[in-house]
Structure 1
Amino acid sequence: MTMHDLAPELLLRVFESLSSVSDIISLSLTCRYFSEILPKSQKLTLFFGAFDESNGPVEDIIQLLTQNNNQPLHVRRTPPLSFALLSQATAIARVARRYVELYPNFRWPNGESEHRRLLDACEARRLRRAIYRIWGYTNAFHQSAYHVPRTNVPATTERLQLLRTWSNRELFELEDLRGTLEQLLATEICPTDGEVYSRIPNDAQKFHLSLQYPHLRPVEAVTVSYEELFHNSHHTDHSPSKPSVQELRIRHMQGWGSDLQNFYLVQAFLKLSPAQILWLYDNAVRRADVERFVEEQTHELCFFDCGSLLFQDWVAVLHARGVDVQQAREALWDGTTGIVVDNGTGQVDALR
């Protein structure tokens, strides 16, 4: 007996058992009978179900994609499913998958590299959920509503209402990701003068100082072309001899000032969406590249004058729920709550 001989009801069960959109499409393209056995509405349901398994929570992607000025953000929106919506969701999920790849490097830095591992399916889903939610928060309150005063009461109320729709555990995951983005920005995008100086070889420090202070640059210094400095992540040249963006950044990124200046800069950069931060990580090599990107993306002259509001909103919501915020942050640092839980769940239960 071949699959063509199976009853339509059994073939539907086969389609429903597939765990990825590509598998459903591949089976549908096997023959005309398989392609026509599912009505369009049922195909969409299967596609979104499979997409949720591998890239979800799809519900949070939908909330991100359907943000608008006519509905409160904390009210869940249920648009009709469509292939256009699925295509947009796929582009969002592509960014989240990249963060799933990067997260272990920041969760277990060089000093803890022996513990580094890939995220399991549940951890990856928690990370993606936090990405979609921070992305929605950023779009709503730091980009489209940029000129709303930070003390505006309706805007503050709306921000807090959005965070109140999430459980304590989900808020801890949100802060875990926010802290990871802080680390990425502080080490890769806007490092301090001291960090930049300390991580380069001693024999190259004089040359690096000449980049920081042009009047010290030796006459024989060789300038590097823009194409060599500004690596595009879409380049097809994967030659082992070609340095990565991260390697180029270590060589050429200038410092952004002192530790205190770095703190405020990072808070400003957290107003960028996860997609924008990822673009900087994958493309920006020099400080000028970062500054030009910020100018082009935000069109905001005062971008660096104020930081993200997410942390203070997070604190306000947890305080209102009677949660000890310092204890919650210590639990995140200890790995007893957050996206990846290494040391048991007792602390998590105490903070719920």
Structure 2
Amino acid sequence: MALQHLAPELLVRIFESLSSVPDIISLSLTCRYFYEILPKSQKLALFFSTIDETDGPVEDIIQLLTQNSSQMLHIRRSPPLSFALLSQVTAVARIAQRYVDIFPKFKWPEAESVNRRVFDRHEARRLRRAVYRLWSYAKAFHQFPYRTARTDATATIERLQLLRTWSNDELFELEDFRGLLEQLLATEICPTDGEVYSRVPEDAQKFHLSLQYPYLRPVASTPQVFNDLFHSSRDSDNDSHKPTVQELRIRHMQGWGSDLQNFYLIQSFLKFSPAQILWLFDNAVSRTDVERFIEQQTHDPCFFESGSMFFQDWVTVLHARGVDVQQAREAIWEEKAGIVVTGRSWAV
């Protein structure tokens, strides 16, 4: 029996069993009958439920996208579903999926590379949830225009109210993700002078030629457009020998100072949203690229004079719940809590 001769109820079940939005679209475009068998409202609901399975939690993406100055952040918002909202949801989901792809490298760096693997579906969902929630926090409290000034008591109350809506386990996931972002920033975007120097071959170090070594010479950066954070502005090239952005960055990224200076710089970079940090990872080759990005994104000459407030708020909320913060962080490092839990779970 041809597929189109099946009862409509069975065809609807087939649509509901598909595991991705492209599969649903492909089947619906097979013929006019399949295209019209589901009303738009039902098809839209099916798209959102499918995205929730593959790229969710969708609810957290919606909370991110529907932020507004007239509502408190910790109050859940339920906007009507639409294809316009669906388009925005999928764009945000692509950012989270990139983190799922790249973060095993930072979760298990070179010293632990023997343990490196892809995240399973539960770990991937926990990571995506952390991405969406830290993005909401950054968008609300660190992005211009600000909801309230960071020194305003109202801003502190609102930040803490937002974190209190999340369970301890979810807060551990957020700290795990924040720690991974710190690693990405420290190794890729603002390495220390010592880290950059260590990349110079030993013979160059021995003869003190580091300042003349070509890999450390800054390159002239080409003007780039930072408006679209969801796509790379670099032209594609079929040349298989063309170096990657990461390879170019190893050659040309200058150091940003000492270990102590690096610590405070990273706290400032954490004011950026996950989308902005990912843009830097995918595009910035030199320190000049990074500085130009900061200028165009923030228009703030005092960008490095303040850092993200998230960690302080995280500590405050967990202290109020009677959680030993140091033990919690050690449990995250030992993979007993957070995004990846490989040992016996840590009891709060």
Task: Write the mapping of 1:69-88 to structure 2, written as runs, cut at 5 A.
Answer: 69-88=69-88
Which of residues 193, 208, 211 is equivalent to 1:209? 211
Query: Which residue pairs with 2:190 in the alignment?
Result: 190
Query: Which residue pairs with 2:135 in the alignment?
Result: 135
Aligned length: 339
Alignment partners' CA distance in 2, 1:145 and 1:246: 32
Gap regions ≥5 residues in structure 2: 226-231
Deviation at 1:146, TM superposition (A): 4.2
Query: Which residue pairs with 1:94 in the alignment?
Result: 94
Alignment partners' CA distance in 2, 1:180 and 1:254: 22
Deviating 4+ runs (over 2 angstroms): 144-151, 202-208, 221-230, 232-235
Query: Which residue pairs with 1:157 in the alignment?
Result: 157
Query: Which residue pairs with 1:36 in the alignment?
Result: 36
CA contact (8 A) 2:269 2:307 kept: yes
- 1:242 partner amino acid: K
Query: Which residue pairs with 1:261 in the alignment?
Result: 261
Query: Which residue pairs with 1:315 in the alignment?
Result: 315
Alignment partners' CA distance in 2, 1:72 and 1:227: 41
Query: Which residue pairs with 1:58 in the alignment?
Result: 58
- 1:3 partner amino acid: L
**Cα gap change, 1:287 to 1:334, in 2 (>3 Å):** same
Deviation at 1:130, TM superposition (A): 0.3
| 2:342 paired with 1:342 | yes
Q: Secondary structure at the match of 1:78?
A: coil
CA contact (8 A) 2:8 2:37 kept: yes
CA contact (8 A) 2:221 2:288 kept: no
| 2:299 paired with 1:295 | no
- 2:33 partner amino acid: Y
Query: Which residue pairs with 2:273 in the alignment?
Result: 273
Alignment partners' CA distance in 1, 2:168 and 2:218: 52
Deviation at 1:226, TM superposition (A): 3.8
Moved more, 83-92 or 1-10: 1-10
Alignment partners' CA distance in 1, 2:318 and 2:40: 44
**Cα gap change, 1:204 to 1:32, in 2 (>3 Å):** farther
CA contact (8 A) 1:268 1:306 kept: yes
Q: Secondary structure at the match of 1:143?
A: coil
Query: Which residue pairs with 1:119 in the alignment?
Result: 119
Deviation at 1:233, TM superposition (A): 6.2
- 2:275 partner amino acid: A
**Cα gap change, 1:41 to 1:147, in 2 (>3 Å):** closer
Q: Secondary structure at the match of 2:142?
A: helix
Identity %: 69
Q: Secondary structure at the match of 1:335?
A: coil
Deviation at 1:5, TM superposition (A): 1.8
Gap regions ≥5 residues in structure 1: 212-216
CA contact (8 A) 2:218 2:254 kept: no
**Cα gap change, 1:65 to 1:229, in 2 (>3 Å):** closer
CA contact (8 A) 1:200 1:251 kept: no
| 2:8 paired with 1:8 | yes
- 1:271 partner amino acid: K
CA contact (8 A) 1:267 1:307 kept: yes
- Where is the helix percentage greater, Structure 1 or Structure 2? 1
Query: Which residue pairs with 1:214 in the alignment?
Result: none
What TM-score does the superposition give when structure 2 sets the normalisation length? 0.93
